Structure 1
Amino acid sequence: MLHLLVGITRRGPAVLASGCAIGLLLPSSAEAARPLLPMMVFIFVLGTLLRIDNREVVIAAKNLKISVIFPLLMVVACPYLFGMGAYAISGNQELSLAIAVAVAAPPASGNVAVARMLGLDPSMSLVVVLCSMVLIPVTAPAVLHVFGNGLLLLIDPWELAARLALLIGGAEGVAILIRHFSHDIVARHGLAIDGIVVLALFIFSIGTMAGLQSTILEKPVGVAAMIAVAYGVNFALQLMFGGLYPGSLMSKFTMALNGGNRNVGLLWSALGVTVSPTMALYFACCQLPIHTMPKILQFFLPKIERCCKTRGGMRVSEPGGQRD
């Protein structure tokens, strides 16, 4: 079993991408996995916290670019930038609202595990995720108020804050207990823990495809266009944050991953049944780049790294474990 989990860890990006394919091709599997989504979120957050080096997290948190500046850019500036841009291009209020809300979401919790799979910086990713989540109960309702005027949508900031506190606090509490009573097991079987995280992300990716196949069959052109928009927004965010972060190549890719892959499901669930079909379709399409981008990055990262080493114009990683 341990060997199986280690093998899953090493093939993590491919496993995540295959989850989307399975969910689309076998809609019954997506419907079966959908009720498990909250549990899967808890499992991969817990597994991530078990594998984090606290010393590295403290170092990352002391860097204001990681803990303050870039989280503010992600969940405060970008939703307005992309929402207004979408409205200027399309003139569609529901689509611009969907994009603004999706970009207002914090980075996905699974980004930390994905960062480790890709050889990026999981501690840096965790700090960005947590610091962004702290802002969401204030920033997300404001974005909804600006772009959803007249659409009768509401996010309760207190309910959202309580949900985030329960998720992070509960997972941290369990992680502390496991570390205390089973520290040696955690240290010995880190790759197996990563395998459990990948499995949770795999089931999560299957569940997020629920209902998408039938929508594709009903409106193939409209869905294809929405998928293209979702990939375009994700890619634009990754380029923006990777380009803006003034660090090494690996730090840039870590920030890019967090800038593009957002926890759209968090705000989707907070809005509940009040979302329009257009918004629900966009939120569902956002799951495709979130779960396939790690495989795309895994393919391109070694090539970009070799290119940078050949040219010698950019550090691939930070010297001495420090972050710019």
Structure 2
Amino acid sequence: MYAGKILSWLGGRGPVLLVISICAGLPINPLVHFGYDLLPFSAFLLTLGSFLTASLAPSEAGIRLPLIAMVLAWVGVALPLAAAVLLSFLPLDPALRAGALLSLLAPPVGSAAAIAGMLGLRPRLALLVSIALTLLTPISIPCFATVLGLGVVFDMGALAIRLFSIIGAAGLVAALAIRFHRRLVPVLPDQRAATGIAVIGLIIVGLAASQGIQAQWTSDALRFDLMLAAAVASNFGLCALATLTFARLGLQTAGTIGLVSGNRNVTLVWAATSFGLPPLAEGYVAACVIPVLALPLIIKLCLRLPSFGRLIPQNG
């Protein structure tokens, strides 16, 4: 009973806790090491929490193949190619350009469905898009990187095994949990408790990411501040662009597409290179973690503004 209440509490306060986690890790080194040691387990928690959140969410009308195909094409193809064209006109260091493009080649975060649940969006749509693009990652990222001439070497074989193992294990546990949900009600009483599982994984990511963020900021504060500004603008800008582009589909659907457009699993791309990115590219990827964790809180606050709600139809 207490476990269920704790998970529900975590799920209800997820957006605030994610920001606190990354801030807490900066001054407290033991928390950083604790998070870093648990980082492999966090991927399982994120995926499991997303599966459970989507499974326990209210039914979502209108999730048909044309909608899924459109969102996959938008997130997985249109945005990376548009960014590549745009960045080709900017005088950027090749390593920084590679980092920026890799952040957009990454699939949506594994916790996308759980974050959608926190924000009252469409967890099942977010789950389908994030899982589909994640499973395509071992093929899509090397192909795009070659076409775009990023000059980055990937260890996609090992990553593919890891991804399929995490998604398979999380999917199996989630299926068993839903099958025997009546017996697990004290631990998993509702959708908010399922989201709480993913929040634990995100808190671990926030604590672990503090180490890389602190290292990058210490080595060159001004450079990292500029990369952070660019990462924030890219993340929030893509979220807003997608939400407005698909506004005719209603706030829930458009907001979900915005969420998966801006919230990318940059640490997955970093792992795909065996953590061997050039320093500039690594710095940009580290900067991208901050808006990923801060985005849910900012969206939550924006959704409370009457002026924001009037911009987009509420149906859908």
State TM-score, norm by structure 2. 0.89
Flag the structure with more relative contact order, 1 or 2, with Cα contacts below 8 A and sequence separation at least 6: 2
Tell me the equivalent position of 1:322.
none
Deviations 1:112-154 (A, max 9, x none): 11111111111111111122223322221022213445x4x22
Inter-CA distance 315–210: structure 2 relative to 1 (3 Å threshold): same
Tell me the equivalent position of 2:193.
192
Alignment of 1:1-324 (within 5 A): 1=2, 2-53=4-55, 61-65=63-67, 67-149=68-150, 151=151, 153-186=152-185, 188-245=189-246, 246-304=248-306, 307-308=309-310, 314-318=312-316
CA distance in 1, matches of 2:148, 2:118: 36
Q: Give the CA deviation at 1:224.
A: 0.4
Matching residue's letter, 1:42: F
Q: Secondary structure at the match of 1:256?
A: helix
Asked if the contact 2:106/2:137 (under 8 Å) is kept, the reply is yes
Inter-CA distance 56–193: structure 2 relative to 1 (3 Å threshold): closer
Deviations 1:67-119 (A, max 9, x none): 21221221222223213322421332111111111100111111211111111
Deviations 1:196-233 (A, max 9, x none): 32122111211122232133133111110010010011
CA distance in 2, matches of 1:48, 1:129: 10
Return 79-88 or 67-76, whichever deviates more. Answer: 79-88
Q: Give the CA deviation at 1:306.
A: 6.7
CA distance in 2, matches of 1:57, 1:128: 17
State TM-score, norm by structure 1. 0.87
Q: Percent identity?
A: 26
Return 76-85 or 48-57, whichever deviates more. Answer: 48-57
Matching residue's letter, 1:298: K
Matching residue's letter, 1:317: N
Q: Secondary structure at the match of 2:121?
A: coil
For structure 1, the 5+ residue unaligned runs are 319-324
> Aligned residue pairs: how many?
311
Deviations 1:268-308 (A, max 9, x none): 10101321111111111100000001111111112147752
Inter-CA distance 35–248: structure 2 relative to 1 (3 Å threshold): same
Matching residue's letter, 2:203: F
CA distance in 1, matches of 2:105, 2:70: 15
Matching residue's letter, 2:315: S
Inter-CA distance 244–307: structure 2 relative to 1 (3 Å threshold): closer
Deviations 1:152-183 (A, max 9, x none): x2224444433322121111112222233344
CA distance in 2, matches of 1:116, 1:160: 28
Q: Secondary structure at the match of 1:89?
A: coil
Q: Give the CA deviation at 1:45.
A: 1.1
Asked if the contact 1:44/1:201 (under 8 Å) is kept, the reply is yes
Asked if the contact 1:13/1:117 (under 8 Å) is kept, the reply is yes
Matching residue's letter, 2:215: S
Q: Secondary structure at the match of 1:155?
A: coil
